[in-house]
């Protein structure tokens, strides 16, 4: 099918048309191509913006979150006017403002085993812009089953990774990571933070790989993992090989259908940060405040990092960072009532598991962390 560019499109894409590797024919390819972007956050923002600007004819966006004030430090596709709006709608509005001639389809729903094949089947390239292991494994498996390239990216603090997993021509994500890490071993950006510009760097590299794949030019990152560090501005490459024993793309696959990825990874398949230790071990901020006001003796233990005390703190709390908890258990008395807390309840839930394994029983996790305390008890504290 031929696609004739209008005079306006020729002017819009003129800098592409001047490149021999793209030209008119390449721009026609882009206009007739489709890309699915899973996640419209830190990575999805630059990916979606640059694919829209480049003239990819159809772009799908999968997300079910809303724009939050804390997103604006790095999720540059969203702005103040989008606060509280569905991310897919905020992103679509910005993309169509940038390029009204493209088609942007939105899927305001979680990407799950129930809908993933249906959604992904219509697109040429899949881009993983997520921040959780269940969705990463799901995206990989869908791409293997559908025979589509998976443009992978991940970020944390100052470090990023990029690769293209295409089981038809090289390794898949499971070849590199056959099993997910133990729950809680790898902190999320919500827990550990991320330099705001980092997802811009990694997301732009992902968009670059997607355009190369659609145009059929250059050497994509198939069989190579790019490692980037912003602090020393280093780019390194690790060669990847196809695993002949891979459970999904090997000659004798064990995984022949989509599975329960949350159960497989042992963590929720979403990016929301509020943690819980379960109803038997959680205490809400309001409940804790009532008990403290009633004069109950409760040992408050803050498992955050020391620099977080500059943001907010609870008076009288003992600071024992999660990473030091195992070595400092002797500082705690199992006969005391202990309430553990962190920023949002995730790290303190892991600390609670450690204390339970050491025989502590009079211990609770502050659900929602010190941020919940700021919302429900003491609004003078900032939320971060």
Instruction: Please identify every residue annotated as catalytic.
Output: 189, 342
- Tell me how far CA of residue 252 lies from CA of 141, 144, 169, 241, 248, in angstroms: 15, 14, 17, 17, 8
Residues 110, 46: Cα–Cα separation, whole Å = 21
Query: Are 257 and 116 spatial neighbours (Cβ–Cβ below 8 Å)?
Result: no
Radius of gyration from C-alpha coordinates of the chain: 23
Residues 359, 178: Cα–Cα separation, whole Å = 33
Query: Are 161 and 225 spatial neighbours (Cβ–Cβ below 8 Å)?
Result: yes
* Sign of the alpha-carbon torsion through 131, 134, 135, 137: positive
- Tokens of residue 154, six digits: 């991940």
Print the SS3 string covering 280-321.
CCEECHHHHHHHHHCCCCEEEEECCCHHHHHCCCCCCCEECC
- Tokens of residue 40, six digits: 């419209």
- Tell me how far CA of residue 293 lies from CA of 75, 289, 290, 365, 370, in angstroms: 41, 6, 5, 18, 17
Query: Within 10 Å of residue 35's Cβ, how many Cβ atoms?
Result: 27
């Amino acid at each position: 099918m031929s696609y004739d560019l209008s005079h306006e499109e020729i002017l819009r894409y003129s800098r592409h048309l001047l490149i021999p590797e793209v030209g008119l024919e390449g721009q026609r390819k882009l206009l007739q191509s489709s890309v699915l972007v899973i996640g419209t956050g830190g990575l999805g923002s630059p990916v979606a913006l640059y694919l829209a600007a480049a003239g990819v004819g159809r772009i799908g966006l999968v997300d079910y979150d809303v724009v939050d004030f804390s997103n604006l430090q790095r999720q540059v596709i969203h702005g103040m006017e989008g606060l509280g709006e569905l991310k897919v709608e905020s992103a679509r509005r910005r993309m169509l403002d940038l390029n009204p001639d493209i088609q942007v389809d939105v899927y305001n729903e979680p990407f799950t085993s129930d809908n993933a094949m249906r959604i992904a089947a219509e697109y040429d390239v899949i881009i993983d812009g997520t921040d959780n292991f269940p969705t990463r494994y799901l995206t990989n498996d869908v791409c293997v089953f559908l025979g589509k390239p998976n443009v992978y990216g991940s970020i944390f603090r100052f470090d990023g990774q990029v690769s293209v997993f295409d089981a038809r021509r090289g390794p898949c994500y499971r070849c590199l990571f056959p099993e997910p890490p133990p729950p809680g071993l790898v902190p999320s950006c919500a827990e550990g933070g991320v330099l705001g510009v980092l997802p811009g760097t990694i997301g732009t590299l992902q968009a670059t790989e997607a355009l190369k794949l659609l145009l059929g030019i250059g050497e994509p990152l198939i069989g190579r993992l790019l490692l980037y560090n912003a602090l020393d501005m280093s780019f390194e490459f690790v060669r990847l090989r196809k695993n002949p024993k891979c459970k999904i793309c090997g000659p004798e696959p064990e995984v022949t259908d989509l599975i329960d990825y949350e159960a497989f990874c042992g963590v929720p398949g979403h990016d929301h940060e509020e943690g819980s230790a379960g109803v038997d071990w959680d205490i809400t901020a309001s409940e804790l405040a009532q008990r403290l006001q009633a004069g109950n003796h409760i040992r408050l233990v803050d498992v955050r990092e020391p620099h977080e005390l500059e943001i907010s703190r609870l008076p009288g709390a003992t600071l024992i960072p999660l990473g030091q908890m195992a070595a400092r258990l002797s500082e705690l008395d199992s006969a005391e009532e202990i309430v553990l807390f962190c920023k949002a309840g995730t790290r303190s839930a892991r600390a609670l598991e450690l204390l339970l394994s050491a025989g502590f029983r009079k211990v609770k996790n502050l659900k929602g962390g010190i941020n919940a305390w700021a919302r429900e008890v003491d609004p003078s504290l900032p939320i971060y």
